[in-house]
Chains A and B, each alone.
Chain A
Amino acid sequence: MPESVARAPRVAHERVVQPRSSIIERFRRIVTYHELLVGMTRKELKVKYKNSVLGFAWSLLNPLLYLVVFYVAFVKILGSGVPAFPIYLLSGLLVWNLFSTGLSGACTSVVSNSGLVKKVSFPREILPLAAIGSMLIHFFLQSLVLFAVLLAIQWDVAWAYMALLPLALIVLLVLTGGLGILLSATNVYLRDTQHFLELALLAWFWVTPIVYAFMTIGRRPGGWFKYAWMLNPVTPIVLIFQRAIYARLDNPDVPVGSAGHQILPHWGMAAYVGYLGYSLAFGIVIFAIGVAVFGRSEANFAEEL
């Protein structure tokens, strides 16, 4: 059989299927499959707006509609005193949306890709990560439009803080990735997870200073309230985005010292970085827990689905 000589044996691909694999081993597999992560992300993007007329335009329409609703409710009805409210809102909302839609998508990712999970072997963590990846693309697209608008109206951003944005984004991705991996695994066994997450995200949205100014909280008597608010690991990230993009610390229309004068905290760069460090630590712990839980339960995914 002459052909048998033609094929060089591939020694490199040795794989071991075991009852358990270590966290490091799992990370290494995710890294070797990075190309698949890109492919899956692309797939998520394609599938999301398949069979819809507006398609990708929904990605932009969604925050725009949010803006209209909140503008009417807060500025016109409740009389919020934040000047240039649309820009204030969007600078926090876009990054929040990345967090919340990424998390919802990740949570259901394993269940909704059951066809793949039952048929092919690959590191399943790719699924929640790809769901988040696709939301990241939407986020970039939305940010691009926001920056175009800012440029058009010649809005002054805080350039010094702009440098913190990539860092804050990475921290957010670690946090979202860790929580997403964790929830996608629990959702396989307990479908309540996805319904619970919807409510949790709603509450989480309101404990994050996105539609209201952080300093309305920060100025409450007995400074502890502010620190309690900062326990929310998303708050520092949102604050950095607002500090960099919105970049207005005070409301000039309100007299100094009265409520509503301060909008964003008058911290130095170091304080922002410090709080971001807290978020990062939080994210890393959650990520490790997520991967550990995922690894323990993954063995039975194919049976449970």
Chain B
Amino acid sequence: MSKRAAIEIRHVTKTFRLYHEHYDSLKEKMLHFGRTPSENFIAVNDIDIDIEEGTTVGVLGHNGSGKSTLLKCVAGILQPNEGEIVTRGRLAALLELGAGFHPELTGRENIFMNASILGLSKKDISNVFDEIVDFSELEKFIDMQVRHYSSGMYIRLGFAVAVNVDPDILLVDEVLSVGDEAFQRKCLERVAQFQREGRTILFVTHAADLVRRVCERAIVLDHGELVSDSAPGEAIRTFRETLQHSGLADPALDDAEAPAPDAAAGDTEHAEVPAAPISIGRQRAASATHKVKITNVTIDHPGLHVGRRWMLPDEALSIHISYHADEPTEDLLFGIAIHDEDGNDIFGTNTKRMDVPVPVADGDGQVTFDFEHVPLLDGTFLVSLAIQSTDEGTVHDWRDQEYQFEVMNPTRTVGLVSLPLEVRFGPPYAGHVEAIGS
């Protein structure tokens, strides 16, 4: 059975006029009449998508990508300049912080007002009032003016109202990222319940993990354009790419950390390592003798041969390292470490630990680390490389988290590691249930 669209977004374009100065008063408007410095800014450009009833769709995009504007258009708060949006069913929206409460009114009064804006009659509201208060955990504060609420309480009340008014469509903008962990979990549980009940959820976020966990489909916006409309894995990958592009275009980010010029070689890219506290790796890198020097690093995986920047989980990965020794040097080890984006070690070894004999370095040499398959799930992984003496007392060269490769997880499995898994059903098993490796 083909499902009806709960939200039809038809060629929606929204432009804003950006005033370089804002003239609010008549005098200013007269003075600058006709030449108010302004330009049109296209926030959302000709977006055309359908959202089927009962699906959960994530909208990803960096700041200023138009995702919140699009959501506001769907919510009916902004009207598009072109195109139209049809929504079917009661719609509850939670936009950014707060849900349109009046600061002078108490929590109780605001619940009634908010729910009536969402289209509930007074009787309906009385019926769900207790549930709303329960959900928000604000029993003690419900007769207090909302202006005395903390921002967390504000969100809790807003979310409680939105999910308890029996909406057919729920629009959520970044709200799930605030509040304490327990409340977040509660919200996610409610979202899961809505999914089971066949309600439609559209939510805007830049938390890619959340999209993978709860969405069946994700849309990526970049500068108002739809750049991806696909399964979460693929969309998240596209999202990361747009982030990187905009990151490189942003001068503020560019000079945040000037990378060593010789590190850019082959297909490697500088990791956008934030100015982390000085790690052991950094200290060791600083003490390098450079008697044996890494001259070039190439990271290779099957994806690069078919035009993808990323590899899939369990594909092979090769890291080719060219090095140069000014004079014959022996007593060497070559080390490699792989880190996640936060710099946590995932894997690390060296030629000594693996008992691999290392030839004497003299002039140019090459070493290759071949990973038969890399069972990582998703993300950008950073690579550190080192050349040291076998007792690790002397550092010849240490490249700390300077290289990276990306893995895209096409499945909806979450986590860091791709564990091979098969699932069987069968007669009751006497012992524990077992996952069988393939």
A residues neighboring B (CB under 8 Å): 1, 3-4, 6-7, 9-11, 13-20, 35-36, 39-40, 43, 46-47, 50-51, 113, 115-122, 189-192, 196, 298-300, 302-303
Residues A4 and B77 in contact in the complex (CB < 8 Å), given A10-B90, A14-B88: no
Given A1, A15, A40, which contacts B113 in the complex, CB threshold below 8 Å?
Answer: A40
* Contact B89 A13, beta carbon cutoff 8 Å: yes
Chain B nearest CB from A194 CB (Å) reads: 11
- 8 closest Cβ pairs, A-B complex: A121-B76, A119-B100, A299-B79, A192-B26, A120-B100, A4-B198, A17-B85, A116-B100
Residues A17 and B117 in contact in the complex (CB < 8 Å), given A46-B105, A118-B77, A120-B100: no
B residues neighboring A (CB under 8 Å): 16, 24-27, 29, 53-54, 72-91, 93, 95-96, 98-105, 109, 112-114, 116-119, 121-122, 145, 168, 193, 196-199
Given B84, B88, B196, which contacts A3 in the complex, CB threshold below 8 Å?
Answer: B196
* Contact B196 A1, beta carbon cutoff 8 Å: yes
State A120–B193 Cα separation when bound (angstroms).
24
Q: What are 25 A-to-B residue pairs whose CB atoms are below 8 Å?
A: A3-B196, A3-B198, A10-B90, A16-B84, A17-B74, A17-B87, A19-B80, A43-B113, A46-B109, A47-B104, A51-B104, A113-B102, A115-B98, A115-B102, A117-B77, A118-B95, A119-B96, A120-B93, A120-B100, A121-B76, A121-B93, A191-B24, A192-B27, A196-B26, A299-B81
* Contact A7 B198, beta carbon cutoff 8 Å: yes
* Contact B113 A16, beta carbon cutoff 8 Å: no
State A1–B118 Cα separation when bound (angstroms).
28
* Contact B168 A13, beta carbon cutoff 8 Å: yes
Chain B residue nearest in CB terms to A120:
B100
* Contact A16 B86, beta carbon cutoff 8 Å: yes
* Contact A47 B100, beta carbon cutoff 8 Å: no
List chain A residues, Cβ under 8 A from B109: 43, 46
List chain A residues, Cβ under 8 A from B25: 190-192
Residues A122 and B117 in contact in the complex (CB < 8 Å), given A17-B80, A116-B100: yes
List chain A residues, Cβ under 8 A from B145: 50
Chain B residue nearest in CB terms to A113:
B102
State A50–B103 Cα separation when bound (angstroms).
11
List chain A residues, Cβ under 8 A from B197: 3-4, 6-7
List chain B residues, Cβ under 8 A from A43: 102, 105, 109, 113
Chain B nearest CB from A51 CB (Å) reads: 8
Chain A nearest CB from B376 CB (Å) reads: 32
Chain B nearest CB from A152 CB (Å) reads: 37
